[in-house]
Amino acid sequence: MERNRSPSTPASQRPSSPPQPISNNSPSVIPSSASTAYNIHHSDLESSPNSSTSWRRGAQHKRDSSQGTNMHDSDYDDDNETGSYKKNNNLASNSLLPTSVSEDSRSSPIFNSRNNNSNNNAPARTVVSIRILGILILISLFSWFYLEALAGGDIEWVKDHLSMLGVNLVLSVLCLTVAVTLIALTPMSTLFAGCLFAGMAVILVALKKWDDGESFETHGAYNMLVFLVIAIPLNGLIQSILLCQRKMSTAKFHRLMTFSIVGTAFLTTMMLMYYHSIWGQGANGAHLAHGSRAGQELCEWQGVNIPVVDLLPNYIQNFWTGQLSCPAVTGIEAEWTYDGILTIRCLNKGFKDSDQQPTYDILPDTRFWSAADKIMHTYNKKINERTIRRTYTEPVHVDVEGVESIIANCEQDVSKILIRVTRHDEVLERVRAVAKARQEQEETTTKATEEERRLVDILHGDSPVTDDNSNGATDTDTDTDNNSNSDTTKPTGKKPRKPNVMVLFMDAVARRQFYRKLAKTATVVARLDKSAQGGPQLHEFFRYHAVGFNTNANSRVVYTNTPDRQEPAAPPIWKDFYEAGYITSRVEDNCEDWSTQYTGRESSQYFDHELQAPFCLPPYYALEGNPFSNFAGPYSIVARCMHGSNVHTYAIEYMNQFRKAYPDQPWFQMGSFIEGHEGTGEVLLTIDDDLSKFLKGMEEDGSLENTIVFMMADHGLHMGINFMFTPNGRIEHMNPYLSVILPPLITKHYPSLARGLTHNQQSLVTGYEIHATLKMLASGQMPEYGDDDDVDGGAWRRGTLFDEELDPARTCEQAKVPAEYCHCK
| Range scoring the smallest mean pLDDT among 107-111, 334-338, 365-369, 446-450 | 107-111
Pick from 796, 310, 817, 807: which is nearest to 544 by CA? 817
Q: pLDDT of 524-546, one tens digit each?
A: 999 999 988 989 999 999 999 99
The single-letter code of the amino acid at 473 is: A
Pick from 624, 573, 675: which is nearest to 378 by CA? 624
> pTM higher than 0.85, yes or no?
no
**Strand ranges (E), 363-499:** 388-391, 396-397, 405-409, 415-419
Q: In this predicted structure, what is the pLDDT of residue 455?
A: 75
Taking a C-beta distance cutoff of 8 angstroms, is the pair 558, 772 a contact? no
- Which residues are 585's β-sheet partners? 609, 669
The C-alpha atoms of residue 177 and residue 204 are separated, in whole angstroms, by: 13
Q: pLDDT of 180-213, one tens digit each?
A: 999 999 988 999 999 999 999 999 999 999 998 8
Confidence check: pLDDT of 290 > 90: yes
pLDDT band at residue 443 under the 50/70/90 scheme: confident
The C-alpha atoms of residue 766 and residue 736 are separated, in whole angstroms, by: 10
Mean pLDDT for the chain overall: 83
Pick from 588, 217, 570: which is nearest to 379 by CA? 588
Among residues of the chain, what percentage have pLDDT more than 70?
80
Strands 707-713 and 396-397: unpaired
Please tell me what DSSP assigns to residue 310: G
Per-residue CA distances from 212 to 115, 154, 165, 220 (Å): 57, 17, 16, 5
- Average pLDDT, integer, range 372-390: 94
Task: Classify each residue of 27-59 as buried b or exposed e, where b means 16 or more C-beta atoms within 10 Å of its C-beta.
Answer: eebbbeebbbbbbbbeebbeebeebeebbbbbb
Pick from 540, 549, 514: which is nearest to 817 by CA? 549
- Helical (H) or strand (E) element with 195: helix 190-210
154: left (phi over 0), alpha (psi -120 to 50) or beta: beta
- Average pLDDT, integer, range 346-355: 89
Confidence check: pLDDT of 62 > 70: no
CATH code that applies to domain 500-786+796-821: 3.40.720.10
The C-alpha atoms of residue 121 and residue 110 are separated, in whole angstroms, by: 14
Task: Classify each residue of 670-709 as buried b or exposed e, where b means 16 or more C-beta atoms within 10 Å of its C-beta.
Answer: bbbbbbbbbbbbbbbbbbbebbbebbbebbeeebbbbbbb
Please tell me what DSSP assigns to residue 129: H
Taking a C-beta distance cutoff of 8 angstroms, is the pair 667, 583 a contact? yes
Pick from 516, 812, 521: which is nearest to 687 by CA? 521
Q: pLDDT of 242-271, one tens digit each?
A: 999 999 999 999 999 999 999 999 999 999
Q: List phi, psi (to 5°) of 505.
A: -100, 125
Where in the chain are the domains?
A: 2-9+28-112, 121-248, 332-419, 500-786+796-821
Q: pLDDT of 9-34, one tens digit each?
A: 444 444 545 555 444 444 444 444 33
Please tell me what DSSP assigns to residue 110: T
Q: Find out whether the peptide bond into 751 is cis, omega within 30 degrees of 0.
A: no
Q: In this predicted structure, what is the pLDDT of residue 94?
A: 39
Q: Bigger pLDDT: 230 or 458?
A: 230
- Average pLDDT, integer, range 737-760: 93
pLDDT band at residue 106 under the 50/70/90 scheme: very low
Instruction: Report the SS3 class of residue 348.
Output: coil
The C-alpha atoms of residue 586 and residue 606 are separated, in whole angstroms, by: 10
- Average pLDDT, integer, range 78-95: 42
Taking a C-beta distance cutoff of 8 angstroms, is the pair 510, 717 a contact? yes
Contacts of 489 (CB under 8 A, 6+ apart): none
